[in-house]
Amino acid sequence: MVNNRIAQNGFTLIELLMTLAIASVVAAIGLPSLTEMYNKNRLTAYTNQLVSDLNLARSEAVKRGLPVALRNFTGGGVWEDGWIVFADVSRNGVNANVFNDDGDEILCEPQEDCVLRKTDALPQGFILGANSKYTNFVRYDPDGTSNTNGTFAVCDNQDGSGQLSYKSKLIIINTMGRIRLGVDQIPLNHPNGIPEFDDNSELSDCSDAS
């Protein structure tokens, strides 16, 4: 008698359990890395936005032959709530014609303090701090120089610890108005991820960029 057997393809229960176990290990290793990369990309994006707006203020000051400033919304030193770039004809760092009573932006004449760009608040969990020289604004003159040198720090504070200089970007503006990012360079063979100032000191406080 011929015994015909049909070959059956598939996973056994043990093979399936082993596959699930391996997938769980891979996911446990990979997900934190993906989350970290995502947060780093967000931090870089917010930093680039501020750098872009600073460069806009500088280039517009040169192009228009007028002072142009970048100022936080509140005027109380809280930069993460958003900021504006505007022609600062009055040279006081304050734009009186930015919003009407309803909070809507209003138009202004070319020789008035005219808004050039508005940037919304950073998402919750991110800090944008400035040192005491840039409490409320930084202004560029028609020759491209800034009103003073100073620094900004963009920091990832999603875990609520507050002191996250190792998850930060440092923006440095020199006396000529040029902008650059602080880098972690000391010690070169043992980087700790904390950006440094021109004097090689490390960023220690994200809230005031010092």
pLDDT in tens, 148-204: 999 999 988 887 765 565 588 999 999 899 999 988 776 555 566 788 888 888 888
Identify whether 5 is part of a domain.
no
Containing structural domain, residue 126: 13-64+122-181
- Per DSSP, 90 falls in state T
Contact (CB, 8 A) for 203 and 153: yes
Put residue 209 in one of left, alpha, beta given phi > 0 → left and psi -120 to 50 → alpha: left
Domain assignment present for 172: yes
Asked whether the predicted pLDDT for residue 65 surpasses 60, the reply is yes
Domain assignment present for residue 1? The answer is: no
146 found inside a domain: yes
Residue 3 lies in a domain: no
CATH number, domain containing residue 38: 3.55.40.10
Number of domains into which the chain is organized: 1
Q: Is the pLDDT of residue 139 over 90?
A: yes
